[in-house]
Amino acid sequence: MNDRPLLELRSVEIAYGRVAAVRGLSLEVQRGELVGLIGPNGAGKSTTLHAIMGAVPISAGEIIVDGVGVAGRAPEAIARSGVALVPEGRRVFASFSVEENLRLGLAARRNGKDEHALEEAYELFPVLRESRRRPAGVLSGGQQQQLAIARGLVAGPRLLLLDEPSLGLAPAVVDSVFETLARIREHGVTVLLVEQRAQRTVALADRSYVLVNGELRATLAPADAGDTDRLVAAYLA
Ligand code: ATP
């Protein structure tokens, strides 16, 4: 039994020039967990994900993936170690078919191509199987988000970072994105989820960290989702 965290941030500081974006952030994600990182606009959530991927340098602290410090490594090396980011904004290749988009994820696998991963993705996202030959650009916003997540998954990551998957989607579609996240978690995939939809994230995640102005303000459990006062207090603290 390996109980060391899959991801650990220790007192991480990140700045853009002189502007501090993240200050003294510590958090952890255990294998199989879905952990939320929530907070208002500009809190430093996306910056934190980009730093984990090696795309933004940290100025202090440590980022540890499965016991190994990764700060300072190139993004490709971090990706090869099994960390995948699904960025904000549903970036799919619009003129490629759904299946071609998924095959790009397959090509990024660490352990060689595995057609079974495609089949698994279609089981998780039946709508993608139905649309597999259609250009990704004709899918609805919610379906494109499913495709972006599925592409991240077929790469077979040990840790999947999701940046605001519900952003810009209609409320009913947001429901389907959160259902998708619940299914991914049942699949045993380890996820760090950045979201602005605080209540839903807190309800879903094993634990949610509240980031405000680059600082950790609270750590919330699913039971706190119904406690609006506690949620608001965490944001305003
Ligand atoms: P949002 O939900 O709006 O994306 P966020 O919590 O993800 O918010 P970040 O995007 O990480 O927040 O931004 C944190 C801070 O860093 C903000 O003050 C933002 O203006 C600043 N920032 C982000 N990216 C850059 C950049 N490339 N250059 C300079 N400052 C940046």
Q: Note the pLDDT of residue 15.
A: 95
Q: Note the pLDDT of residue 113.
A: 65
Which tens digits make up the pLDDT trace of 146-198?
Answer: 999 999 999 889 999 999 998 888 888 888 889 989 988 888 889 999 998 99
Mutation pick for ligand 1 pocket among 9, 14, 22, 46 (CB with most ligand atoms within 8 Å)? 46
Query: Which residue's C-alpha comes closest to atom 2 of ligand 1?
Result: 41
- Separation of 211 CA from ligand 1 center, angstroms? 12
Is residue 41 within 6 Å of ligand 1 at its C-beta? yes
Q: Note the pLDDT of residue 227.
A: 81
Is residue 36 within 6 Å of ligand 1 at its C-beta? no
Is residue 38 within 6 Å of ligand 1 at its C-beta? no
Q: Note the pLDDT of residue 2.
A: 67
- Separation of 102 CA from ligand 1 center, angstroms? 29
Is residue 2 within 6 Å of ligand 1 at its C-beta? no
Annotated domain spans of the chain:
7-82+158-236
Q: Which atom of ligand 1 sits closest to the CA of residue 163?
A: 7
Is residue 50 within 6 Å of ligand 1 at its C-beta? no
- Distance of alpha carbon 154 from alpha carbon 144, whole angstroms: 15
Q: Note the pLDDT of residue 112.
A: 65
Is residue 146 within 6 Å of ligand 1 at its C-beta? no
- Separation of 66 CA from ligand 1 center, angstroms? 27
Mutation pick for ligand 1 pocket among 45, 53, 85, 163 (CB with most ligand atoms within 8 Å)? 45
Q: Note the pLDDT of residue 1.
A: 52
Mutation pick for ligand 1 pocket among 16, 48, 162 (CB with most ligand atoms within 8 Å)? 16
Each residue's pLDDT, cut to its tens digit, for the chain (237 residues) gives 567 999 999 999 999 998 999 999 999 999 999 999 999 989 999 999 999 999 999 999 999 999 999 998 999 999 988 999 998 887 889 999 999 999 988 877 776 667 788 998 998 899 999 999 999 999 988 899 999 999 999 988 999 999 999 888 888 888 888 998 998 888 888 999 999 899 999 999 999 999 999 999 999 999 988 887 777 777 776
Residues in the chain: 237
CATH code for the part of the protein at 7-82+158-236: 3.40.50.300
Q: Note the pLDDT of residue 59.
A: 95
